[in-house]
Chains A and B, each alone.
Chain A
Amino acid sequence: MGPEQSIHIAILGGGRGGTALIELFTRCHGIAITGIADTNPDAPGLRLARNLNIPATDDPVSLVSDMTVDLIVDVTGNPSMPALIERHKSARAEFLGGTAAKLVWSLIQDERDLYEHLAHAEKLSTLGTFAAGIAHEFNNPLHMMLGFAQLIQDTQDPASVQEYIQEIVKQIKHLSNMSTSVNLYARTSAQGELVPVQIPKLLDEAVRMAKFSTILDEVTVIPHYEPVPDIQAEPGELLQVFMNLIVNAVQAMNARGRLTLRTCMENGSITVSVEDTGPGIAPQDLAKIFAPFFTTKKTGKGTGLGLYIVDTIIRKYGGRIEPRSEVGKGTAFRIHFPVAGLPQQTVPSSHPATPASI
């Protein structure tokens, strides 16, 4: 479906309903959000919209009078809203409000709960396979700390004592970094808490985390980080995205090869790419890899949820992911994120909004 066939939707109400609608609509192909309005300029839905470069306004009238709007969804709960909209909307725009809008919203809530269960299940299954790796990664430094501590007990030489203490301190720092990473990953984040995230830093973090699930010693990690602006996101979610892509790449390469991580600006969007020198993806599989439960891995090895979760999270942030693969050569997953929050965005009244349909 081309963008000209998209359904253009205006959302009224920036509370939980409006936020949920944005999250859902940005994940749907063929839907473009013309804008969102709420009289409170600080409503969470408006903040989310600004981050996704979706026009946000405190003036519902200007939004509904946009001629390109096909459907107006009112989740304000304001009894005088339907009459106001009726006076200002274009003749062709349809209106969804009252109980019907509530029904849509509760269906969306349901869908979101389901997705969250899946995302959680995927996390748990990954954590399950990580458990052994995590134990290993923690027990090694503990072993060194115990060993050096006991050597200190038996040593008279002050220089050796100093040196062993330094080793212990080093291992404590290492352990504490790892526990931060694990926490960040495992934490089911508070809803919608977005913070500025430095993508290159998170990519490095993801590489460290990937060590819990595969041996990376014989993978050459090549970072190519060009400066990119921070992105407003839940860090745990982006970590899940990058880790899934990295683990897939390493598994595809059978733990041997080159893993290239890139960040750069491309056509005004933030681009992240994860590239491997694995066997590639067969053309007939390429269309299926993002579907839930599609896997070519042995039962017990893969759930097939990895890329589904990756795609869903990326869409939530208004981004998109595209795989490029050449059989026998390797695979590259490229992610494009919009640059967030250019200040003072208002609803453009003449030209159609596009951001959600990218």
Chain B
Amino acid sequence: MGMWPFGHHDPSRASMGRVLIVDDEENIRRVARLTLTKAGYEVIEGKDGADAIEALNSGENPLLVDVIICDIRMPKINGVEAISYFRSQYPSVPIIVQTGFPDLNLATSLMKQGVSDYLVKPVENEKLIAAVAKAVEGREMFTT
């Protein structure tokens, strides 16, 4: 299409940015939503890789997001598959992995694929906000 789905955010939007959180646990999405909303972000949710991809591609226009936070172990399309999809479709959108797996090999290989952060649960709310802020900042530096 030639049109880039993830443009700069609309200045009329009062949010610090839009975050997609992908996790199969409802309460984990909820903690992220409450935390990030308080910090000024707009949050949308996906309950697994397939759901997230659908959320992004549904509607008239592809949804614009500034950061994706993604779990690894999920049903249907798992995190690793979802991440490689996100990287290929939306290469400019930073991805933060937030997972229960303290797996160094996986972390290294995902970082090589361009994932910007690998957070191992339990993650402090402040740390998540900081990681999101850093990712958004990096993206702005990258795209402007």
Contacts and interface: CB of A to CB of B under 8 A. Distances in A.
Interface string A154-177: 100000000000010001000000
Contact of A154 (B38, B99, B102, B123): B38
B76 interface: yes
B125 A151 contact: yes
B47 to A, nearest CB: 10
B104 to A, nearest CB: 12
B124 A136 contact: no
A139 B27 contact: no
Interface residues of B, number: 25
A174 to B, nearest CB: 11
Interface in B20-52: 24-25, 27-28, 31-32, 34-35, 38
A135 B101 contact: yes
Contacts of A147: 28, 31-32, 34-35, 122-123, 125
Interface residues on A, range: 20 to 34
Interface in A191-232: 215, 217-218
B27 to A, nearest CB: 5
Given A140-B28, A151-B31, A151-B35, A217 B121 contact: no
Contact of B28 (A135, A144, A218): A144
B120 A139 contact: yes
A142 interface: yes
Contacts, number: 66
Contacts of B62: none
Nearest to B24: A217
A349 interface: no
Given A143-B100, A146-B123, A150-B125, A218 B75 contact: yes
A251 B50 CA distance: 22
A264 B32 CA distance: 46
Contacts of A154: 38
A307 to B, nearest CB: 27
Dominant secondary structure of chain A at its interface with chain B: helix
Interface string A127-152: 00000100111111011111110110
Dominant secondary structure of chain B at its interface with chain A: loop
Contact of B121 (A142, A171, A215): A142
Given A146-B123, A151-B125, A215-B73, A135 B102 contact: yes
Nearest to A150: B125
A148 B103 CA distance: 25
Q: Which of A137, A139, A145 has the most CB of B within 10 A?
A: A139
A159 to B, nearest CB: 14
Contacts of B121: 139-140, 142-143
Contact of A137 (B35, B100, B120): B100
Contacts of A150: 35, 124-126
B76 A218 contact: yes
Nearest to B120: A139
Nearest to B73: A136
Contacts of A137: 100
Interface in B60-110: 73-76, 99-103
Nearest to A219: B75
Contact of A146 (B25, B74, B101, B122): B122
A136 B101 contact: yes
Q: Which of B25, B38, B99, B100 has the most CB of A within 10 A?
A: B100
B124 A139 contact: no
Contacts of A138: 100
A358 to B, nearest CB: 41
Q: Which of A137, A142, A147, A217 has the most CB of B within 10 A?
A: A147
The 3 closest A-B pairs by CB, nearest first: A147-B31, A139-B100, A217-B75
19 contacts: A132-B101, A136-B101, A137-B100, A138-B100, A140-B121, A142-B121, A143-B100, A143-B122, A143-B123, A146-B122, A146-B123, A147-B34, A147-B123, A148-B31, A150-B126, A151-B125, A215-B73, A217-B76, A218-B75
